[in-house]
Amino acid sequence: MSDARGLSDRTLVWGIAAMQVIGWGALYTPFPLLVAPMEAELGWSRVLLNAGFTAALLASGIAAVPAGRWLDRRGPRGLMSLGAAAAALLLVALALVRDPAAYIAIWVLIGLAQAACLWNSAMAVVVAEARDPTRTITAITFITGFTGTVFLPLADALIAAFGWRGALGALAALQAGAAVLTFAMLRQARVPPRGAAAPTGRPLRERIRERAFLGLALCFAAHAFIGTGLAAHLIPLLRERGWPEATVLLLAAAHGPAQVAARVLLYTLGRGVTMRAVGRFATGLVPLGMLCLALGPGSLVLTLGFVVLWAVADGLLAIVRAAGTAEILGREGYGTVTGALSAFAVLPRTVAPLVLALRWDGAGTYGPVPWLLVAVAAAVAGGFLVAARRPAG
């Protein structure tokens, strides 16, 4: 029976990677390109347009725990397939929107669909099914690292050719294909027995009091703050340093290749390293990278050092968040536990761009911003060191 057989690691790598590349590429990556044409046609403020996207982030974080609990109790078939299909329909609705209230509501529903079918849910499937979760997750992240490389130019070309509404329609068609792929692949996934209790061992309210859980929550929340904050502010921060535009864009673009290179190296090391060791190394790089950014406002060498250190750490932490959580906290109740970790990170992820903007506005320069990031980076490293002391769950 398919439930007993489950999915092979090869199927997981290619199937999950394809689902995630399309899902993130359709639901998340193109948004910055859509804002200007939507603003021009609809006449809405940029604040309103960004509020919809923020609402999706909040809804996704809030829904992460119930989505994880569903996956633990009932398996991924229904939830992920429904989420992927709903996402395609919601992109069509977004392409037709003309009312601000409907716009916000659609984004909230998109956030719920993201919680159902994107990263946390996908990693719960891998941890439950894979014979070698670490290498499988590493291979998946290697492929998904090219999401922006593929979908940013694709979305830009679609907007230029068909306008923002037509582009969303085309992305909806791609997402519909991902929904079909999701349903077809997960037909072979193992499913818990009907009526089975949630396999969490202890209630979630007890697990979130564990020192290891709190350490990981602090680490991942601080990492999310840095990631979204830099995504919004890195280019203007580098421009303020007076370098040519080509240099600024090259420094910003180097993040992706360095991420992928780190993941390739980890994959080649295979089973020779633990996620604890990888996590200690990666989280140690984060404060070093932020220090390079803070100490080198006029130094291209130090700024390049920041780019490399942060990109390597960021690339590895995507794997640590999935496989490291399983190694430290155990596989039981993985969906629920990782959903709770995502819920802890949703507020830092959402407010980071605003916090950095206020810090810039108060000083009239980006000078203090890297020092704020140094402090947050210390929380990344400290939180993981606390968590890594726990014996394997």
- When mean pLDDT is compared across 70-74, 108-112, 243-247, 269-273, the lowest value belongs to 269-273
- DSSP letter string over 282-323? HHHHHHHHHHHHHH-TT-HHHHHHHHHHHHHHHHHHHHIIII
Sketch the domain layout of the chain as residue ranges. Answer: 2-186, 204-388
Q: Which DSSP string do the residues of 125-167 spell out, in sequence order?
A: HHHHH-SSHHHHHHHHHHHHTTHHHHHHHHHHHHHHHHHHHHH
Closest CA to 127 of 347, 340, 324: 324
pLDDT at 265 (0 to 100): 87
Angle subtended at Cα 335 by Cα 181 and Cα 122, rounded to the nearest 5 degrees: 25
How many Cα atoms within 13 Å fall on the side-chain side of residue 340? 21
Q: Write down the pLDDT at residue 100.
A: 97
Nearest to 192 by CA among 338, 67, 71: 71
Burial 318-328 (b: 16+ CB within 10 A, else e): bbbbbbbbbbb
Q: 């090869």: which residue's tokens?
A: 10
Fold agreement between 2-186 and 204-388: yes
Predicted local confidence at residue 2, as pLDDT: 39
Domain 204-388 has CATH 1.20.1250.20: yes
- Which DSSP symbol is given to 28? T
Report the C-alpha gap between 120 and 179 in whole angstroms. Answer: 17
Q: What is the spatial distance between Cα 358 and Cα 194, in angstroms, rounded to a whole number?
A: 51
75: which 2 tokens?
């398996």
| Confidence tier at 220 by pLDDT (50, 70, 90) | very high
Q: What is the pLDDT of residues 126-185, one digit of tens each?
A: 988 898 888 999 899 889 888 888 898 999 999 999 999 999 999 999 999 999 999 999
Quickly state the pLDDT bin for 392 (edges 50, 70, 90): low
Fill in the DSSP letter of residue 66. Answer: H
**pTM for this one?**
0.85
Residues 6+ apart with CB under 8 A from 176: 85, 88
Nearest to 322 by CA among 188, 135, 117: 135
Q: What is the mean pLDDT of the chain?
A: 90
| 354: helix, strand or coil | helix
Backbone phi and psi for residue 210, each to the nearest 5 degrees, phi listed first: -65, 145
Architecture category of domain 2-186 in CATH: Up-down Bundle (1.20)
Which amino acid, one-letter code, is at 59?
A
Q: What percent of the chain has pLDDT over 90?
A: 64
pLDDT for residue 102 is more than 90: yes
Q: Which two tokens stand for residue 350?
A: 């959402």
Q: What is the pLDDT of residues 322-354, one digit of tens each?
A: 999 999 998 888 999 999 999 999 999 989 988
For residue 370, give the nearest of 354, 381, 350, 356 by alpha carbon.
356
Tell me the residue length of the chain: 393
pLDDT of residue 3: 44
Confidence band for 193, pLDDT divided at 50, 70 and 90: low
